[in-house]
Amino acid sequence: MNDSWYVEHVTVEHETEADAHFPLSRWLPANTEMQFKKFDSQLPQVVKKEHPEVYQQRQNELDQKKKDFAYAPIANKEGMPRTVTSLPPEETFHRNYIFDLLETKFTGVISQYLKKMRYEDEFASFDDMYKVYYGPLSPFTVPAGHSGWRTDEKFARLRLTGPNCTVIRGVKKDGGLPTNFPVDKDNLAKHFMEGQSFQQAQDADRLFYIDFKDLDGYIAKSSGKPMVAPLALFYARMDGTLIPLAIQLFQQNADNNPIFYPPPIDDEKVWCQAKFWFGVADSNYHEPVTHLLQTHLVAGDFITCFHHMISPSHPVYKLMLPHFIYLLNINTDGMPVLTAEDGAFNKILTFGLDNCYDLMYKKYQTFKLSDAYLATDLSNRGVDNLPNYHYMEDAKPMFKAIEDYITASLKTIYGGKDQVLKDDFEMQNFAKLLCDKTEGMRGVWGDGAFTKLDDLSKTLSTMVFILSNVHAAANFNQYDEYGYPPNLPFRLDGAPPTDKSPVTEDYLVKLFDVNVTLATMDLGRTLSMQGTNKIGNYETRYEYKPDVLKHYLSFIEALKKVGAENDSKNAKRSNPYPWLSPKVVPNSISI
């Protein structure tokens, strides 16, 4: 007993009654007597009133947790989300999994070997790149997403189902295109709009766009040249197919920054070049913002604050912990794959590490958790009528299953009374810390005080949705889409075009550097790995109280139904979207 023990669970067996469960999931310090109630799941105000001696123990544990989960802003940059300064003892319990995952998987060595075996210093053609997938030594499979990569339909589909599928917006919703994007409306209507005028297409909610204005003004690290900050316009055909209609590579429309159009308006290769450069913006925005900041780091801030204030004996702790598993581990031990000096942000992305941090900082200043609530996100972007938006179609039932589960559980935990929540001083302390005016998160319901159960439910549901679905959509199709870089490049050699001069096929091929291409495949493969349980199938079960447990069982049933519905939707889709199926989405972020 002279050592501390990590105790996951204690079961006391009775001969005549049901077994008593104590899901402890914590380190028990050496030579210390501790008391736990059956189920270890009580609100703090109840413990304080009814069991003062256990309450003191609970306070002592929380005092220790504040030390164990000491935090600082990411990269010590004020204004960034907070994270633990070192991995807390609770979390080291899962450390081996992360090490196993990272140790052998990110294999620059294999890429280098393949390069020597199969290529000279440059690719001879786009087909030449396929050699990398074949042969007994290849660690790469043919990525599913690349097929049809050169078509406009696939280019548009990437914006609906690719890793960065949450930036597209409705033109109608925004009252027209941004004024710095003066597309040739008559010409577009004549060639592409199936008998409608541009205005009619807009009124019918058939026009959508993406604006990477956040990238404006940066210098790309890999080239020393201005970073592309493009806009693109899309049209939803009457048959439901989305197609791209126009791309402008920088924000300021000018003679040396023309708007590119698909054939027959512009030449196919000139248009292909514009699509490549748009892809560079998409991928360089996706990794730091959509993926790292808006899932990993936002969740890291939330979870760190939660551990400071919520006791492991709190019923909401039991509810949330299955969705927090591995996150602080991967953010502490795994993030260097992206953010080390020789990590992907510097070595693969064109943008570079410093720019990534600067952009993440700016985006976090305007980030609001309430904007990540699915219905709000879809309505803010005006995408309700976007056809074949499989992300939206599949996210809706998943969000509902999560929100129903959290709402019902909270109702039971707090007896359906807002006042009981107001009296829960641990939860109120958490709200205060989370929304701290100088370093906290913005847009959390209640803004620093949970006075309504509905506010707490929206907050927790949104966080579980981010940890499971938003991350899954941004993460697991990375190999499929990035694994064949012409489909979605991280970096191109040369400079973005300033006019519509003809280019050759060979010129387009030579935009792809062999080393960067192989390293991109490697990164995509690593980040797309799946090694943890799927949503609802918890790695550790924390809740044993029958009245709360019944909501968990309903959640499992709801997920089964969502999974079956997804299967039948995908059977009918010409391009199935598996990424938000409960059979694919994990409980939490682990990669």
Closest distance between Fe ion and the C-beta of residue 82, in Å?
19
Closer by beta carbon to Fe ion, 251 or else 475:
475
Closest distance between Fe ion and the C-beta of residue 432, in Å?
29
103 CB contacts (<8 Å, ≥6 apart)? none
Contact region for Fe ion (CB under 5 A) — 93-101, 209-217, 248-256, 474-482? Answer: 474-482
Closer by beta carbon to Fe ion, 25 or else 290:
290
Contact region for Fe ion (CB under 5 A) — 75-83, 469-477, 513-521, 533-541? Answer: 469-477
Closer by beta carbon to Fe ion, 304 or else 477:
477
477 counts as binding Fe ion under rule CB under 5 A: no
Contact region for Fe ion (CB under 5 A) — 297-305, 346-354, 375-383, 470-478? Answer: 470-478
Closer by beta carbon to Fe ion, 47 or else 372:
372
Closest distance between Fe ion and the C-beta of residue 414, in Å?
33
Closer by beta carbon to Fe ion, 84 or else 338:
338
Q: Between residue 558 and residue 587, which ones bind Fe ion under the rule CB under 5 A? A: none
Residue nearest to Fe ion (CB): 475
Question: How many residues bind to Fe ion according to rule CB under 5 A?
Answer: 1
3-class SS of residue 515: helix
Contact region for Fe ion (CB under 5 A) — 53-61, 373-381, 472-480, 558-566? Answer: 472-480
Closest distance between Fe ion and the C-beta of residue 334, in Å?
8
Query: H/E element holding 340?
Result: none
The whole-angstrom separation of Cα 184 and Cα 193 is 13
Cis peptide bond prior to 88, omega within 30° of 0: no
Under 8 Å between Cβ of 453 and 247 = no
Calculate the alpha carbon distances from 497 to 278, 352, 441 in Å.
12, 21, 40
Under 8 Å between Cβ of 300 and 83 = yes
Closest distance between Fe ion and the C-beta of residue 291, in Å?
6
Closer by beta carbon to Fe ion, 299 or else 435:
299
Closer by beta carbon to Fe ion, 249 or else 395:
395
Among 290, 475, 487, 532, binds Fe ion (CB under 5 A): 475
Hey, how many other C-beta atoms are within 10 angstroms of the C-beta on 496? Answer: 22
The whole-angstrom separation of Cα 160 and Cα 381 is 13
Q: Which long-range contacts (CB under 8 A, 24 or more apart) does 257-266 make?
A: 257/498, 258/498, 258/499, 258/500, 259/181, 259/182, 259/183, 259/184, 260/497, 260/500, 261/184, 261/187, 261/188, 262/152, 262/192, 264/191, 265/184, 265/187, 265/188, 265/191, 266/500
Closer by beta carbon to Fe ion, 329 or else 475:
475
Closest distance between Fe ion and the C-beta of residue 531, in Å?
12
Closest distance between Fe ion and the C-beta of residue 559, in Å?
21
Contact region for Fe ion (CB under 5 A) — 297-305, 420-428, 458-466, 473-481? Answer: 473-481
477 CB contacts (<8 Å, ≥6 apart)? 145, 161, 162, 163, 528, 579
Closest distance between Fe ion and the C-beta of residue 479, in Å?
12
339 counts as binding Fe ion under rule CB under 5 A: no
Closest distance between Fe ion and the C-beta of residue 532, in Å?
12
Closest distance between Fe ion and the C-beta of residue 589, in Å?
6
The amino acid that residue 320 corresponds to is M
Compute the chain's Rg from CA coordinates: 26
The amino acid that residue 257 corresponds to is N
The whole-angstrom separation of Cα 174 and Cα 493 is 35
Closer by beta carbon to Fe ion, 233 or else 337:
337
Closer by beta carbon to Fe ion, 188 or else 297:
297
Q: Between residue 360 and residue 399, which ones bind Fe ion under the rule CB under 5 A? A: none
Under 8 Å between Cβ of 480 and 157 = no
Hey, how many other C-beta atoms are within 10 angstroms of the C-beta on 588? Answer: 24
Closer by beta carbon to Fe ion, 320 or else 589:
589
Phi, psi of 32 (to 5 degrees): -130, 130
Look-up of token digits 């997920």:
559
The sign of the dihedral angle between the CA atoms of 193, 158, 138, 128 is positive
Closest distance between Fe ion and the C-beta of residue 338, in Å?
9
CA-based nearest residue to 167, from 229, 240, 219, 225: 229
Residues that bind Fe ion (CB under 5 A): 475
